[in-house]
């Protein structure tokens, strides 16, 4: 299954994508994780991306497209994948569709986690206090949510028109959200599987 999991910062995309990875056996491809790994390793990509990430801005399309195309060319994604954090702009949507289309592939569904903004602020500021991430300070958190609303939220209408969007409430326990995701994807979750993936 080829999925794109969407939702604003703090919605729980990473947590749920990892659970889906366990349950579906498809690799979780997180642009944020890849960028942070490059920053930590001080690669050229990491140095180029760090300034944008620290300000809560999106990394420019050309850098992001190149990175994701390289990752999606790896053998482990041939049977499926769970994209997290890409595409975030209309240009990236077109690039992804072109990349998949040239291989005779397409997304199967776009589950989107829906969480009230106040809850997002609480989650992100709590995460900032725990992790010390430079991109989770209060001002940057607000900016990241504004950037999402301006640049990425409009993509939901695009995927809704293509009958791919599956909006799922992202509040409640992680188990509850996972169950809703699977219901939205027309699958059922075995509680034993949930326990092993928690």
- Does any domain span residue 196? no
Beta partners for residue 3, in sequence order: 82, 109
112-150 tens-digit pLDDT: 999 999 999 888 888 877 776 655 677 888 888 999 999
Structure tokens that stand for 42 in this block: 């001080």
Say if residues 35 and 59 touch (Cβ distance below 8 Å). yes
Q: Give the number of other Cβ atoms within 10 Å of residue 61's Cβ.
A: 16
Q: Which domain holds residue 22?
A: 2-187
Which pLDDT score is estimated for 191?
Answer: 43
Residues near 8 by beta carbon (within 8 Å), at least 6 away in sequence:
115, 117, 120, 145, 148, 149, 152, 153
**Contact present, 174 and 16 (Cβ < 8 Å):** yes
C-alpha distance across the termini of the chain, in Å: 21
CA distances from 171 to 29, 111, 114, 115, 133 (A): 23, 14, 8, 6, 23
pLDDT tens, position by position, 21-61:
999 999 999 988 888 888 888 888 888 888 888 887 888 88
Q: Which one of 13, 19, 166, 179 is the catalytic residue?
A: 13
6 pLDDT exceeds 80? yes
Q: Is residue 197 part of a domain?
A: no
Mean pLDDT of the chain: 87
Q: Is 49 a member of any domain?
A: yes
Q: Exactly one of 2, 36, 55, 133 is catalytic; which is it?
A: 133
Q: Residue 187: its pLDDT value, please?
A: 60
Q: Tell me, what CATH number does 123's domain have?
A: 3.40.50.300
Res 196 pLDDT > 60:
no
Q: Catalytic: which of 2, 55, 127, 160?
A: 127
Catalytic residue chosen out of the listed positions 123, 144, 166, 179: 144
**Per-residue pLDDT at 198 exceeds 60:** no
Active site residue 13: yes
* Whether residue 105 has pLDDT greater than 90: yes
Q: Is residue 39 part of a domain?
A: yes
Q: Is residue 51 part of a domain?
A: yes
Residue in the structure block whose two tokens are 């695009």: 158
Q: In this structure, is residue 193 part of a structural domain?
A: no
Q: Is residue 198 part of a domain?
A: no
Contact criterion met (CB below 8 Å) for 115 and 8: yes
| Residue found by looking up tokens 């028109």 in the block | 161
| Annotated catalytic residue, options 88, 123, 166, 179 | 88
The pTM (predicted TM-score) of the whole model is: 0.82
55 a catalytic residue:
no
Residue 192 domain-assigned? no
Using DSSP's 3-state secondary structure scheme, residue 52 falls into helix
Query: What integer pLDDT is reported at residue 193 of this predicted model?
Result: 52
Domain tally, the chain: 1
Q: In the chain, what percentage of residues exceed pLDDT 90?
A: 56
């Amino acid at each position: 299954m080829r999925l794109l999991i969407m939702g604003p910062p703090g919605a729980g995309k990473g947590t749920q994508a990892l659970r889906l990875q366990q349950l579906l056996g498809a690799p979780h491809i997180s642009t944020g994780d890849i960028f942070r790994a490059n920053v930590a390793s001080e690669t050229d990509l990491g140095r180029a991306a760090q300034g944008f990430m620290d300000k809560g801005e999106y990394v420019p399309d050309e850098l992001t497209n190149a990175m994701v195309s390289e990752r999606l060319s790896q053998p482990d994604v041939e049977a499926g994948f769970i994209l997290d954090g890409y595409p975030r702009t209309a240009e990236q949507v077109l690039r992804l569709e072109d990349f998949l289309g040239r291989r005779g592939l397409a997304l199967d569904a776009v589950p989107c986690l829906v969480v009230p903004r106040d809850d997002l602020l609480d989650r992100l500021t709590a995460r900032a206090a725990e992790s010390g991430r430079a991109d989770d300070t209060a001002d940057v958190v607000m900016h990241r949510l504004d950037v999402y609303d301006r640049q990425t939220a409009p993509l939901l209408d695009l995927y809704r028109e293509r009958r791919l969007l599956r909006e799922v409430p992202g509040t409640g326990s992680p188990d509850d959200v996972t169950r809703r995701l699977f219901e939205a994807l027309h699958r059922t979750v075995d509680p034993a599987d949930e326990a092993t993936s928690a």
